[in-house]
C-alpha cells in the first residue's frame, strides 16, 4: 500500500474523534452539564426503554454483528498494511512503449549500485531497493559507513554512484532517498 503514512494519520484522526465524541457525551451527561439535551444524569446507562426497543428490533443484533465483522476486517487490513511496501521486481529500460519494451530485473540493477558503493573504502555495507513504478522507478538506498570515515566524503561518493546509476538507466531525474548510518568505532 502506498502512502501508508497519510492513511495512518487519517485513520488515527477518525478513531480519535470517535473516542473523544463518545467520551465527551458520557462526561457531559454524568456531570449534568446539559440535562435538557442528554437526559438526567442519575439514570441507568442502559435503561428499560432502550432494552425493550432493542428487543423489538429483529435486525439490531445481526447488524451489530455485521458491522463488527466489517470493522474487524478493516482493522486487520490496516494492521497488515504496516509491514508492506512495494518493491519493484523489474524496471523498464525503454520508456516509450511504441518502440517495444525492454525490462531488466530490479535485482540486477540494485546489485550494480551496491557493488559500485562497495568499491569505496568509506562504505562498509549498502542495501538498495527500487520502488515506484516500472517506468518511473525510485531508488531507496541505505548506506552504512565506517566509523572513522568522513561522512561528507561518503555523501559525495554516494552522489557519484547515484549519478552513474541514473546514466545506466537513462533516467536523469530518478529520485533517490539516501540514509547514512555510522558503525561504532572499532578501536
Partner 1 sequence: MTTEDLAAADETRPIRPGRPADGGLAERRAAARAFRPRRALPAIVVSALLAVATGLIAAYLISKYVGHQVHVLPRGLFQAGHQLHWDDPRPLVASGVACALGLLLIGLALRPGRLRVVPVTSQDPYSVAAMTRAGLRRYLADAATTVDGIASAKVKVRRRRARVYAASSLRDIEGLAAQIETAVTDRLTVLAPLQPLRVRVSVRKRRD
Between residue 30 and residue 89, which ones bind partner 1 under the rule CB under 8 A?
30-32, 39, 41-46, 51, 61-62, 64-65, 68-69, 71-72, 75-76, 78-79, 82-87
- Residues 91, 169 contacting (CB under 8 angstroms): yes
Q: Which is nearer to partner 1, 24 or 101 (CB)?
A: 24
Q: Which is nearer to partner 1, 47 or 94 (CB)?
A: 47
How many residues form the binding site for partner 1 (CB under 8 A)? 88
- Residues 177, 162 contacting (CB under 8 angstroms): no
Q: Where are the beta strands (DSSP E) in 89-133?
A: 90-92, 103-105, 123-132
Considering only 36, 58, 100, 185, the residue that binds partner 1 (CB under 8 A) is 185
Q: Which is nearer to partner 1, 99 or 170 (CB)?
A: 170
Q: Which is nearer to partner 1, 43 or 108 (CB)?
A: 43
Site for partner 1 contains 180 (CB under 8 A): yes
- Grid cell, residue 94, equals 525503454
- Whole-angstrom distance, CA of residue 119 vs CA of residue 79: 40
Minimum distance of partner 1 from residue 152's CB (angstroms): 4
Interface mask toward partner 1 for 9-28; x: CB under 8 A? xxxxx-xxxxxxxxxxxxx-
Site for partner 1 contains 135 (CB under 8 A): no
* Residue 34 CB partners (closer than 8 Å, separation 6+): 28
Considering only 159, 164, 167, 170, the residue that binds partner 1 (CB under 8 A) is 159
Distances, alpha carbon 156 to alpha carbons 94, 125, 151, 184, in Å: 29, 16, 9, 21
Distances, alpha carbon 115 to alpha carbons 38, 108, 158, in Å: 69, 11, 12
Interface mask toward partner 1 for 87-126; x: CB under 8 A? x---------------------------------------
- ∠ Cα 50 54 59 (to 5°): 155
Amino acid at each position: 500500500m502506498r502512502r501508508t503514512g497519510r492513511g495512518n494519520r487519517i485513520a488515527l484522526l477518525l478513531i480519535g474523534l470517535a473516542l473523544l465524541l463518545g467520551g465527551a457525551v458520557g462526561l457531559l451527561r454524568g456531570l449534568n452539564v446539559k440535562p435538557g439535551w442528554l437526559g438526567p444524569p442519575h439514570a441507568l446507562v442502559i435503561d428499560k426503554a432502550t432494552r425493550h426497543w432493542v428487543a423489538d428490533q429483529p435486525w439490531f443484533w445481526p447488524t451489530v454483528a455485521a458491522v463488527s465483522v466489517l470493522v474487524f476486517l478493516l482493522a486487520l487490513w490496516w494492521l497488515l498494511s504496516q509491514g508492506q511496501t512495494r518493491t519493484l521486481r523489474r524496471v523498464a529500460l525503454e520508456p516509450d512503449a511504441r518502440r517495444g519494451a525492454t525490462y531488466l530485473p530490479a535485482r540486477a540493477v540494485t546489485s550494480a549500485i551496491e557493488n559500485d558503493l562497495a568499491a569505496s573504502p568509506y562504505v562498509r555495507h549498502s542495501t538498495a531497493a527500487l520502488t515506484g513504478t516500472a517506468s518511473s522507478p525510485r531508488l531507496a538506498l541505505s548506506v552504512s559507513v565506517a566509523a572513522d570515515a568522513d561522512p561528507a566524503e561518503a555523501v559525495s561518493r554516494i552522489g557519484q554512484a547515484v549519478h552513474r546509476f541514473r546514466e545506466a538507466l537513462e533516467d536523469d531525474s530518478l529520485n533517490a532517498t539516501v540514509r547514512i548510518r555510522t558503525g561504532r568505532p572499532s578501536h
